[in-house]
Each structure stands twice: as structure tokens, then as C-alpha cells.
Amino acid sequence: MSQPDLLTDSAAIRARVDELLPGIRRDLEDLVRIESVSADPARAGEVRRSAEAVAELFRAERFDSVDVVSAEGGAPAVIAHKAGPEGAPTVLLYAHHDVQPENDHADWDSPPFEPTERDGRLYARGAADDKAGIAAHLGALRVFGDDLPVSVTMFIEGEEEVGSDTLPALLAEHAEALRADVIVIADSGNWDIGEPALTTSLRGLVRADVEVRTLTHAVHSGMWGGLVPDALIALSRVIASLHDDAGDVAIAGLVSSPAADVTYPEERLRAESGAVPGITWMGTGSAVERLWTKPSLSITGLDAPKVDGASNTLVPAARAKISLRVAPGDTADNALACLRAHLEAHTPWGAELTLTVVDTGEPTRIDATGPAYDAARAAFAEAWDGTEPIDMGVGGSIPFIAEFLEAFPEASVLVTGVEDPDTRAHGANEGLHLAEFERVVLAEALLLARLAQR
């Protein structure tokens, strides 16, 4: 089939995706079998092998250039380029090839690095997040073969799951190679099965360890209790001060903003969150405001003596890990300053408080207007048989998106993805919905054709 047919005939693109899908899936399964866990130093060789496997896939598609690159101390990434017609826009397609640790294999219903299909899903670590993003990009390109309607740069990162620490250095070092008119970041998800979405906001992150100390050493709880405060009680009071009675974050100076007018049905909230039947929700405002555009704060870890075997003494020091999600429109620096001031003001009885920052990431708000976004919405609606995409927020954090926006302010950044509410990314039994994956590949191929026409 000739290039003009594919540019103007969406039925031909749909048929081509259907024809290519078995091969795309085989390549995805091969990638999934590589244990590219970037957080595990013992598997650094697997991360390297994963990058080389991705590079070979691009070489097989006859890209003009394919390079495995890394910044000092960073994991390998792949940058590849294939030219389209002269004067056509350049589209950068991003995904990442590293994956989260699989943790306890006993929690999986099938081996985590052996892709297994059950009930229309492909289960494995990385089957969705984010090796399916790589496969979706490849599938869209294979639709057009050597007759690409646009110039394409592939950027497949290797350390997203450990914070993308060297991404700024890579963006600076390879700025010209990565410069594009449109950037498609395939690392998010859709609103539901059968309902596509563009992600237009993400919360940022401040993670910090806080230690409260009341004693230089443990002392007898009977001899000194009632006079000397123990660190666990002091830390408990600090933690309790972080929310008001309604469950809203009580830290002064944090930013909140309204969210899109989207209804999140109660039955979906309960099913997808795994909340126990009697739980009531925290906070005020709509569900999506609380999940997307207001700050949230969680305690994700505690260092304290175990209950079993605890001695009858006052605990001298206790620690907690705080995860503060920063609303779009705020900054990580402001959120950290507000958190620090609150903790210092609410530490009781003159206890010593130490705050250690673990990491931070900026929130993102995207102005999803203009020709590229119009093209994306049209492509999504066609791929999902007339269902218009929604503009969706994400409560989690993908700090590198803010880095792309800062590095390439002239580009239109589209945040898409292959995940759905039951993907279980980062958890056991991560799974890719195969029918939705086909729509993602189709939507991206349609998008490339529409970007060429515009």
C-alpha cells in the first residue's frame, strides 16, 4: 500500500495495525523477559542488555542512526532517528525500558518475567509500564515502514523507575538530537477500558525522612514515664498535626487548584483503590480534585521498635518517611519549605527534629491546546470508535515531564499511555489489556498521519 493511502485512509491504517499486531506482541514479550530492574545493582547487566535489545529493534526498522548513550553514573538510554519527508515535523517518541522490582514472586499468579495471557491481559513486570510504550511506538512506525509521514526521534530512557537522576544531563548533552516539534510521552494511562485520555496534569513530590528525638538513650518507662516524653508519642503528635479533622493536608502555604469536571463513580473508587468496605474518604472537594489537584500526604514508613519483644522503656528516637504530593501550580521548593516550617512548629515538648530530604520532583500542568492536541484528540476518538478522550490528571508524579517542558519549551508535549485502572503497575500481577493496547497503537499511527497533514 502506498504512503498517500495510509495518510488519508484510516481504514487502511487500522488494517495494517491488525496485520502487524502479532509481531509487535512478540517483540514486547521478548523485552519483558529481560529483567531490567534499574533499582537492583546486581541486574545492571540486564538493564544494559535491555537497552541493546531496544536498539536492535530500531536497527531492524532501518533507522538512520541508533545510539546507546548514558550520562556519567546513569543507566543506558537509546536515541534513534529516522527522517521523514523534507519539511515534515519532527516527533519525539519517549518511553522507558527499565522496570520496577518484582518483589515477592509468591504474590504473582505467574512468573513475573514470563509474559502470560489470562482473560485478555498480558501479565508480567513491564508488560505495561513501560515496555508496552516502546512496543506501541514501534507498532505505529511499522504501519508506515520506510515511508514515514514525519521525522521521528526515539528516546527510550533506562532509569525512569529510579528517579531519572541523569535525565537533565542527557537532555542537555543531546539537546539537538532530541529537539522536536511534538513530544509523545507514553508513560501514563487512559481513564478506563474503552475511554481514552490525555494526561494534562501531574502532582509533584517531596519525600523526606523525619526523626524526632527526646532522649540520648532509652530509660525505664516506670521510673521516668509521666515526666519525660518518649519519641514515639512525640512523633505521633507531629504526624497527627499533618491533617485536619476532615482529612485535608493541614500544612499552611501549599497550593491547591480546581480539577476537570470529571465524575469518578463511587463503585470505581472502591474497586480500584482496594478500600475496605467501611472506610470513608479523606479530605474535601470532588474526588478528582483530591486525587489530582490538591496536595496529599502519606506516611510510607516508620522506624520504631517492633511490638513483639519490645522492652519496657521510653523510646529515645523514632523516624517516619513522609510522602508529600505537590499540587500542579505549586513548586517542590515551596512545598518543602512549608513542610519544614510545619514540622518545626508542631514538634512538642522541645523534642529535637531532623528533616532529611530523600528526593523531590516538580508538578506539571500542560496547556493542551493547539494543532498537535487537536490532532491527538481526533486520532484518539477515531481509534476508540467515536469516544472522545478526556483531559485527565494523575495523582502520582512523573517529574521528568517537567524537565522536558523546561528543556523544549517550543514543543507540544502529549502525555499518553497504555495503562488502565487495573494495570497494577509497580505491583504484583502487572497486566496489559491487549485490546486497549491495539487501540493505543492505532491511535499513535493515526496521530502521526494527522501531524503530517497539519
Check 29, 160, 362, 382 and give the catalytic one: 160
Kind of pairing between the strands at 182-189 and 412-419: parallel
Whether residue 322 contacts residue 301, with contact meaning beta carbons closer than 8 Å, is answered with no
Q: How far apart are CA 442 and CA 383, in angstroms?
A: 6
| Angle subtended at Cα 269 by Cα 267 and Cα 270, rounded to the nearest 5 degrees | 65
Q: Is 56 a catalytic residue?
A: no
Residue type, 414: L
210-249 as b/e: b if 16+ CB within 10 A: bbbbbbeebbeeeeeeeeebbbbbbbbbbbebbbeeeebb
Check 35, 46, 98, 330 and give the catalytic one: 98
Rounded to 5 degrees, φ, ψ at 69 are -130, 160
Neighbouring-strand partners of residue 356: 209
Count of CA atoms in the C-beta half-sphere (13 A) of 414: 31
Whether residue 321 contacts residue 231, with contact meaning beta carbons closer than 8 Å, is answered with no
Q: Is 160 a catalytic residue?
A: yes
Show which residues are catalytic: 98, 160
